[in-house]
Amino acid sequence: MWICQHVLFIIFTLNCVSGAASLIHVFGYEGKEVKISCPYIKGYESYEKYLCKNGCGYSDILITTLQRNTSKYLIYDDTKKTIITVTISDLRSHDAGKYWCGVSRLGKDLYTEVQLEVKKDRCCDTVSKIQSIEKGSVSISCPYDFEYVNNLKYICRGNRPSTCLQQAVITSDTKQNGQFRLTDDRKSSIFTVTISSLTLRDSGSYLCGVQRKVGLDVFSAVELEVKELELFHISGIVGHPVTLQCPNPPEQRDKKMFLCKGDQHNNCTDIMENQRKFMLHNVSSSCFSVTITDLEAADAGTYYCGSDSQLSYIKIQLTVVSTDQSSTVSPIITDEQITSLTTSPHLTDVTLFYILPAVLALLLILVFLLWMVLKYKSRSKKVDGVGLNVLNSDVGMISNDIYELQENAVYMNTSSPPNMSNHDDIYTNILYRKDLSQLGNM
């Protein structure tokens, strides 16, 4: 009996599969959810509906309207529109395959075949890389197939296609949204998104999307890098010239060199046309120079210069002072400015190259001479000390001799008082004292 029922079930299943009336394609991303909508004919609103997979055997039934929901599947029967909607959550690659929407009835069930395709939720194998400068602007070109010329175009941040349209920063319906502007060239099948007033926070991944009526949207990936704008401070004197150094990288040689004045880069006035006031010179593969002749107080302000108004340029803050103030004001030179100026010959660099070693050598010579003087004085003190001791010793000896001679003289006078009648003794005593007096004077 069981064998007969099993055979009948297989025959029923084969009849169901072979009798499929339509095929629905559904696409989803890993980790996300997908909705499968299957219509049915009127008159079966009260019948049980279900979703099954593969051969749709008993073990292949995933959800029924009697269950309503499980941890992964949710089924809803819209009896007014006669549509069964099944939501499959937390998609994985093994969820891809063939499904069936079924309506239980006596005899053959009603069914609709569904083919589910699951893709990874990231894009793309090829990524275009572009760069720009802070406070500048950049244009992102997004090509598409001609068959989608009338479809909705959009761009979003990140690289997750599943949420790109919901998080789009601009679409072809809006065309302008803050710093984003979208234009569509239908003849060349390219839509362009321009981002103005760039900041460092605008760096990151972007997806260009084209909405499709059937299946997943079409995407292309872009990686944007916004570089920090270099700022230089320069001072000049009224009536004197001042020279500005501007970048001119080799890859931008075909670009027009520019120098403009204004607080905002996107809204500044190009002043290179006045060649009498602004003289262009020293053009090389890395930079060019612009000399502002006969400075005036009105020349002070903010300047932007370079060879690419979108990518390669710098910001210069020029201060102009009068002749009286020039002695107390000096230009501020940053490390970046020195690095920039080394890319081309400059008088300041040559001067520093020769002066600095000379100053260091002079300091070393002065230190050496000071050391020699101190050493000489130290030795002189030692020599003077020794000579003084010797001199004192000699004086002491002489004093002692004089003292002994005086004692002897006194002794002689007291022991043998002179006899007034003895002239020889008196004469001898006088000679002795005379000799003693001469010795004392020594």
Q: Over the stretch 87-96, which tens digit does the pLDDT of each residue have? A: 999 999 999 9
pLDDT digits (tens, 9 = 90+) for 81-140: 999 999 999 999 999 999 999 999 988 888 899 999 999 999 998 999 999 888 888 999
Among 349, 360, 264, which Cα is nearest to 313's? 264
* Predicted pLDDT of residue 349: 43
CA distance 132 to 219: 22
The pLDDT of 198-225, averaged and rounded, is: 94
Reading the block at residue 310, the tokens are 């979108």
Res. 366: pLDDT tops 70: yes
Is residue 268 within 8 Å of 228, Cβ to Cβ?
no
- Quick count: other Cβ atoms within 10 Å of Cβ 170? 21
Q: Is 285 helix (H, G, I), strand (E, B) or coil?
A: coil
- Quick count: other Cβ atoms within 10 Å of Cβ 357? 10
Q: Tell me whether the CATH fold assigned to 2-119 matches the one assigned to 231-343.
A: yes
Reported as a pLDDT band with limits 50, 70 and 90, residue 252 is low
* Predicted pLDDT of residue 345: 39
CA distance 299 to 301: 6
CA distance 298 to 272: 16
Reported as a pLDDT band with limits 50, 70 and 90, residue 155 is very high
Domain positions in the chain: 2-119, 127-227, 231-343, 346-442
* Predicted pLDDT of residue 263: 84
CA distance 428 to 434: 10
The pLDDT of 135-163, averaged and rounded, is: 94
Please state which of the four CATH numbers 2.60.40.10, 2.40.50.100, 1.10.287.3240, 2.60.120.380 is assigned to the domain occupying 2-119: 2.60.40.10
Name the architecture of domain 127-227: Sandwich (2.60)
* Higher-confidence position of 265 and 99: 99
Reported as a pLDDT band with limits 50, 70 and 90, residue 49 is very high
End-to-end, the C-alpha distance of the chain in Å comes to 160
* Predicted pLDDT of residue 151: 96
Topology (CATH) of 231-343: Immunoglobulin-like (2.60.40)
Where does residue 423 rank: exposed (0-12), middle (13-18), buried (19+ CB within 10 A)? exposed
Res. 14: pLDDT tops 80: no
Reported as a pLDDT band with limits 50, 70 and 90, residue 253 is low
Res. 266: pLDDT tops 80: no
* Predicted pLDDT of residue 326: 59
* pTM of the predicted model as reported, rounded to 2 decimal places: 0.59
- Mean pLDDT taken over the chain: 78
DSSP one-letter code for 68: -
Is residue 314 within 8 Å of 232, Cβ to Cβ?
yes
* Predicted pLDDT of residue 379: 63
* Predicted pLDDT of residue 152: 96
> Could you identify the residue written with the tokens 């502007």?
181
The mean-pLDDT minimum among 39-53, 83-97, 342-356 falls in: 342-356
Is residue 85 within 8 Å of 36, Cβ to Cβ?
yes
Reported as a pLDDT band with limits 50, 70 and 90, residue 224 is very high
DSSP one-letter code for 69: B
pLDDT digits (tens, 9 = 90+) for 167-204: 999 999 998 999 999 999 999 999 999 999 899 999 99
